[in-house]
Chain A
Amino acid sequence: MAKQIEQLDRVIIRFAGDSGDGMQLTGDRFTQETASFGNDLSTLPNFPAEIRAPAGTLPGVSSFQLHFADHDIMTPGDSPDVLVAMNPAALKANIGDIPRGATVIVNSDEFTRRNLAKVQYEVDPTTDGTLDAFKVSSVPLTSMTVEALSSCDISKKDAQRAKNMFALGLLSWMYNRPTEGTTSFLKSKFAGKPAILDANLKAFQAGWNFGETTEDFAVSYEIKPARLPSGTYRNITGNLATAYGLIAGSTRSGLPLFLGSYPITPASDVLHELSKHKRFGVRTFQAEDEIAGVGAALGASFGGSLGVTTTSGPGMVLKQETVGLAVMTELPLLIVDVQRAGPSTGMPTKTEQTDLLMAMFGRNGESPVPVVAPQSPADCFDAALEATRIAVTYRTPVVLMSDGYLANGSEPWRLPDVDDLPTIDPGFATEPNGEDERYLPYKRDTETLARPWAVPGTPGLEHRLGGIEKHSETGDISYTPANHDLMVRTRQGKIDAIARDVAPVEVDDPTGDADVLVLGWGGTYGAITAGVRRVRRSGAKVAQAHLRHLNPFPENLGEVLKSYDRVVVPEINLGQLSMLLRSRFLVDVIGYNKVRGLPFKAEELADALREVIERD
């Protein structure tokens, strides 16, 4: 008898297990199945910095949360509807986030006395009533996998390792996911290992079949595709979108991309990705340290490449002296800071927005740089392209502020038409611009205040750049007081004037009469938007805006801030944008700040907004 199918509009699933259990892969495959089915989705991988913490311990727990729906959604979800816990540690580490009534599927094979003891469970929580508030399914995932693979020519250990595919098969059945993508993925991944491929395919199928036949699961669910704007879509993470945006910046400017980088979590995937794309003329340089990474990038920029460096907070600190040199030499340079929890080593795999003031002010002297932030994983593409445009047009280093949540999270991305992407004109200097055939490297464009960019190899324009203060036209060393004052103001003025060339901040205020504005930046866009929707659904009014440009601010920002009674600024820091807004606009914004290493939840933001809206 066919099982009942229930319709849902959205589901949040969290896969959790040991670092070695393959939870990221399982989550990623389920995501791809869901993407190809046409749901809107948003993901949150969450893993420890340790590569393989001792098996079965709390520090070793890795999880992957996926929110998918038949409508557009903004976040990976506050509270999972389903938790898949591959061992007692995964259960213990995650059960606190699971709301009453949710489904909990545990791998009962792993609930041995020894494994329970590792996480201080004295009694098996699946049998002692601890989980009475949940719908618990105890499934012997490991032994059923081994059983299903008894005919395979592989070791017992390899058979056990395939249990994540069994779990994926079970969940794929439960939510009626298309399976072709996973099948072809496995075929390609294990192309050289037929026995392992066979085992994984069988485990995946066995999981599906188990769902279909067992009485434990009476119902499967269907979530219809979302009605997204027409176009071709793919699922994409923030780091991948960043890499693609940089390549797009290179092809649209005609500047070969040179990446100087040192591996650092959570930015390394951008280095990994770019190192694959040599066909685009991309040169990647894994430097001896963070300083050399940005130094080589600046050297390449001097030579006429699009110099890029990628890093996270601890590396950003080290690069700042070189960023200052780029400010002084006025060369294009992109610094991608994938922010993570700090200070110091902090929590490498956890997200934060705590580098904003460092990007703004973390250098000696008056050293302004434009700061651009993406707002969602897919938006990293557009933000990287915009950062490139500003860097090349204005001959300046630009900081692109991604974060760990954007970097590893994913969402559907509607592919842009390549021909519609902006073109970027490097406008290299080829002729002298001064009297007597002299080249004046600091004689500026009157419109943009950008200096000319003459690359080595250009005859007649030989010149010397450097970190020492220079004359406002000739670029010769100058210690003249008035010249220094002029240069300090000119460098600042050039960056300030970029405000004229960036899109005004757009306010979403459907009724046009909200009293409260919520203003965010960077990776919190999804959570803020979801929170705003909840507030509006409950009948309250709130306006929303999100900043792409943190420096300079869009020209209309002051006016926008002043047209609302109260402005709420949620940030995953202790109020860095708030500080900038207060000092710049004398508006006493209300911060909402949590620094837990995790994205905001929609509901907490909704509560915070309601509280401000209801204030007298």
Chain B
Amino acid sequence: MTSANLNGNDEGTLAGLKLVPSTDTQYKAKDFKSDQDVRWCPGCGDYAVLAAFQSFLPQLGVPRENIVMVSGIGCSSRFPYYLSTYGMHSIHGRAPAIATGLATSRQDLSVWVITGDGDGLSIGGNHLIHALRRNVNINVLLFNNRIYGLTKGQYSPTSEAGKVTKSSPVGSLDQPFNPVSLALGAEASFVARTVDSDRKHLTSVLREAADHPGASFVEIYQNCPIFNDDAFTPLKDPAARETRLLRMEHGEPLMLGEDRGVFAGELGGLEVAEVTDTNRDRVIRHDAHRTDPGYAFALSRLDLPAFEHVPVGVFRNVRRPVYDELVNEQVSDARSERGEGELASLLAGGDTWTVD
């Protein structure tokens, strides 16, 4: 049985959960379903992500009560209500800040942030980048449907320029963010991308995110059938998929289908070219552990123009000091060096005098 407890049993503790208690309880997906009716629109990609996530959670091997979902505002931010864990559906854009306080004060929790392209990249962009640079031990799942759903269809910070929506009747003027490029620019130590409809891939990325100590950022391409249907069709059509999806596996050559591969380009960039017998050995082997984020950034730019070649999988997965561990180390160091604080002596510190 390979999908059972990954935390604290023979299969090894997930590094990202090393301070979270483990459990022998053999949870099933249904153990993570709450009693609430799911209220997303029919056909919403969020259903697929929810189902995959509920099936994935038992793999963590963590007691249900030690898992906390924190979300902001938007369609995807309803996620916590549908899980039987602890959760907070907070306010627009602030989930990374709230999760930072929670994770920093409670290292025994597995903390997940659920956000969207509007919540995480627009109103909450500041909190997202700072949580990533601090490397707080949280997992950020950013559902990117490239549209505002809950407010009924305005363009989002990931909508393509020129998009015609209710608030942009003659086309939007904004240059979109590439969420992966943004996360890498924000010094994120774990950055990945996956797609709502590919459950196997989604689950494997979630597992790697949970395994990563520090902040994990996962962009999930998610279809909104009401306001932005077919946004990701080029990646889902079986014929087109193989020429566009670049499935990144650490240590494996970066290939698009059988015929094309990723090569070193000019000035540290990357480019896609036909693979021939003479250049086959120059196809880049994916290395998610490179310290320099330039390579991962170059990968993230391969999809320009949009969806030309779309890398999915883990762009970057490096170890660096984890914020909440550092905070708690300072506390325990202070206590071991000078003992626990004592209120009476604190208050009497400094110059005192006595009146009889």
Contact with A along B241-266 (1 / 0, CB 8 A): 00000000000000000000000000
Using CB atoms, name the residue of chain B closest to A294. B97
Chain A residues with Cβ below 8 Å from B98 are: 295-296, 298-299, 302
B85 is an interface residue with CB less than 8 A from chain A = yes
Interface-centre pick from A233, A292, A297, A321 (highest chain B CB count, 10 A): A292
Complex Cα distance A329/B97, Å? 16
Chain B residues with Cβ below 8 Å from A281 are: 331, 335, 341
B91 is an interface residue with CB less than 8 A from chain A = yes
A247 and B65 contacting across the interface, CB-CB below 8 Å: no
Mark out the residues of chain B between 70 and 101 whose CB falls within 8 Å of any chain A CB in the assembled complex.
Answer: 70, 73, 80-81, 84-91, 94, 97-101
A279 and B335 contacting across the interface, CB-CB below 8 Å: yes
A15 is an interface residue with CB less than 8 A from chain B = no
B66 and A260 contacting across the interface, CB-CB below 8 Å: no
Mark out the residues of chain A between 196 and 247 whose CB falls within 8 Å of any chain B CB in the assembled complex.
Answer: 225, 227-235, 244, 247
Complex Cα distance A289/B125, Å? 12
Complex Cα distance A88/B77, Å? 62
Partner of A464, one of B89, B94, B104, B351: B89
A524 is an interface residue with CB less than 8 A from chain B = no
Partner of B351, one of A181, A244, A289, A461: A181
Complex Cα distance A235/B353, Å? 9
B348 and A258 contacting across the interface, CB-CB below 8 Å: no
B91 and A418 contacting across the interface, CB-CB below 8 Å: no
A244 and B346 contacting across the interface, CB-CB below 8 Å: yes
Partner of A277, one of B69, B103, B341, B352: B341
Using CB atoms, name the residue of chain B closest to A258. B105
Partner of A235, one of B63, B69, B344, B351: B351
B330 is an interface residue with CB less than 8 A from chain A = yes
B183 is an interface residue with CB less than 8 A from chain A = no
Knowing A299-B98, A302-B98, A325-B90, the reply to whether A232 touches B353 (Cβ < 8 A) is yes
B34 is an interface residue with CB less than 8 A from chain A = yes
Contact with B along A269-312 (1 / 0, CB 8 A): 00000000111111101011101100111111111110100000
Mark out the residues of chain A between 79 and 127 whose CB falls within 8 Å of any chain B CB in the assembled complex.
Answer: none
A248 is an interface residue with CB less than 8 A from chain B = yes
B10 is an interface residue with CB less than 8 A from chain A = no
Complex Cα distance A37/B341, Å? 29
B343 and A300 contacting across the interface, CB-CB below 8 Å: no
Chain B residues with Cβ below 8 Å from A295 are: 90, 94, 97-98, 100-101, 127
B contact residues, range: 35 or more
B126 and A288 contacting across the interface, CB-CB below 8 Å: yes
Contact with A along B324-355 (1 / 0, CB 8 A): 00011011011100111101101111111111
Mark out the residues of chain A between 39 and 61 whose CB falls within 8 Å of any chain B CB in the assembled complex.
Answer: none
A540 is an interface residue with CB less than 8 A from chain B = no
A460 is an interface residue with CB less than 8 A from chain B = yes
B330 and A278 contacting across the interface, CB-CB below 8 Å: yes
Shortest CB distance B125–A (Å): 11
A463 and B86 contacting across the interface, CB-CB below 8 Å: yes
Mark out the residues of chain B between 156 and 185 whose CB falls within 8 Å of any chain A CB in the assembled complex.
Answer: none
Complex Cα distance A5/B346, Å? 38
Complex Cα distance A321/B293, Å? 36
Knowing A296-B101, A303-B105, A303-B109, the reply to whether A464 touches B88 (Cβ < 8 A) is yes
B303 is an interface residue with CB less than 8 A from chain A = no
A467 is an interface residue with CB less than 8 A from chain B = yes
A299 and B36 contacting across the interface, CB-CB below 8 Å: no
B108 is an interface residue with CB less than 8 A from chain A = yes
Partner of A459, one of B34, B63, B73, B91: B63
A502 is an interface residue with CB less than 8 A from chain B = no
Knowing A35-B351, A231-B354, A295-B98, the reply to whether A279 touches B341 (Cβ < 8 A) is yes
Chain B residues with Cβ below 8 Å from A285 are: 100-101, 104, 327
Chain A residues with Cβ below 8 Å from B351 are: 32, 35-36, 181, 234-235
B65 and A234 contacting across the interface, CB-CB below 8 Å: no
Knowing A229-B355, A260-B101, the reply to whether A418 touches B344 (Cβ < 8 A) is yes
Knowing A247-B343, A325-B91, A456-B109, the reply to whether A296 touches B353 (Cβ < 8 A) is no
B105 and A283 contacting across the interface, CB-CB below 8 Å: yes
Using CB atoms, name the residue of chain B closest to A321. B91
Using CB atoms, name the residue of chain B closest to A280. B341
Using CB atoms, name the residue of chain B closest to A181. B351
A279 and B89 contacting across the interface, CB-CB below 8 Å: no
Shortest CB distance B124–A (Å): 9
B277 is an interface residue with CB less than 8 A from chain A = no
Chain A residues with Cβ below 8 Å from B106 are: 300, 303-304, 456-457
Contact with A along B278-293 (1 / 0, CB 8 A): 0000000000000000
A465 is an interface residue with CB less than 8 A from chain B = yes
Chain A residues with Cβ below 8 Å from B341 are: 247, 251, 277, 279-281
Chain B residues with Cβ below 8 Å from A370 are: none
Complex Cα distance A247/B352, Å? 20
Chain A residues with Cβ below 8 Å from B347 are: 234, 244, 248, 415-416, 418
Using CB atoms, name the residue of chain A closest to B85. A462
Partner of A256, one of B70, B105, B352: B105
B318 is an interface residue with CB less than 8 A from chain A = no
Complex Cα distance A467/B73, Å? 9
With an 8 Å Cβ cutoff, the count of chain A residues facing the other chain is 71
A457 and B109 contacting across the interface, CB-CB below 8 Å: yes
Q: Is the interface of A mostly helix, strand, loop or mixed?
A: mixed
Chain B residues with Cβ below 8 Å from A228 are: 355
Using CB atoms, name the residue of chain A closest to B350. A234
A154 is an interface residue with CB less than 8 A from chain B = no
B331 and A283 contacting across the interface, CB-CB below 8 Å: yes
Shortest CB distance B104–A (Å): 6
Complex Cα distance A377/B154, Å? 51
Chain A residues with Cβ below 8 Å from B68 are: 302, 456
Partner of A465, one of B87, B101, B331, B350: B87
Shortest CB distance B263–A (Å): 39
B88 and A465 contacting across the interface, CB-CB below 8 Å: yes
Chain A residues with Cβ below 8 Å from B343 are: 247-248, 251, 280, 418
Chain B residues with Cβ below 8 Å from A36 are: 351, 353
Chain A residues with Cβ below 8 Å from B330 are: 278
A247 and B346 contacting across the interface, CB-CB below 8 Å: yes
Complex Cα distance A295/B102, Å? 10
Partner of A287, one of B64, B97, B99, B105: B97
Mark out the residues of chain A between 314 and 348 whose CB falls within 8 Å of any chain B CB in the assembled complex.
Answer: 321-322, 324-325, 329
Knowing A36-B351, A288-B130, the reply to whether A456 touches B101 (Cβ < 8 A) is no
Knowing A233-B354, A296-B97, A462-B84, the reply to whether A467 touches B90 (Cβ < 8 A) is yes
A279 and B338 contacting across the interface, CB-CB below 8 Å: yes
Chain A residues with Cβ below 8 Å from B352 are: 232-234, 415
A466 is an interface residue with CB less than 8 A from chain B = yes
Using CB atoms, name the residue of chain A closest to B339. A279
Interface-centre pick from A279, A300, A418 (highest chain B CB count, 10 A): A279
Chain B residues with Cβ below 8 Å from A467 are: 73, 89-91
A468 is an interface residue with CB less than 8 A from chain B = yes
Chain A residues with Cβ below 8 Å from B81 are: 464, 466, 477
Shortest CB distance A492–B (Å): 21
Residue pairs across A and B with Cβ atoms less than 8 A apart, 22 shown, are: A181-B351, A232-B348, A235-B351, A260-B97, A288-B127, A291-B97, A292-B100, A295-B97, A298-B101, A299-B105, A300-B104, A302-B102, A304-B105, A415-B352, A418-B343, A456-B65, A462-B64, A462-B84, A462-B85, A464-B81, A467-B89, A468-B89
Known A295-B97, A418-B347; 11 more pairs at CB < 8 Å: A36-B351, A36-B353, A244-B346, A248-B347, A260-B101, A279-B338, A283-B104, A283-B105, A464-B34, A466-B87, A476-B36
Listed in ascending order, the chain B residues whose CB lies under 8 Å from chain A are: 34, 36, 63-66, 68-70, 73, 80-81, 84-91, 94, 97-106, 108-109, 126-127, 130, 327-328, 330-331, 333-335, 338-341, 343-344, 346-356
Across the A-B interface, give the 8 residue pairs with the lowest CB-CB distance, nearest first: A466-B89, A299-B101, A296-B101, A295-B97, A280-B341, A299-B98, A278-B334, A292-B97
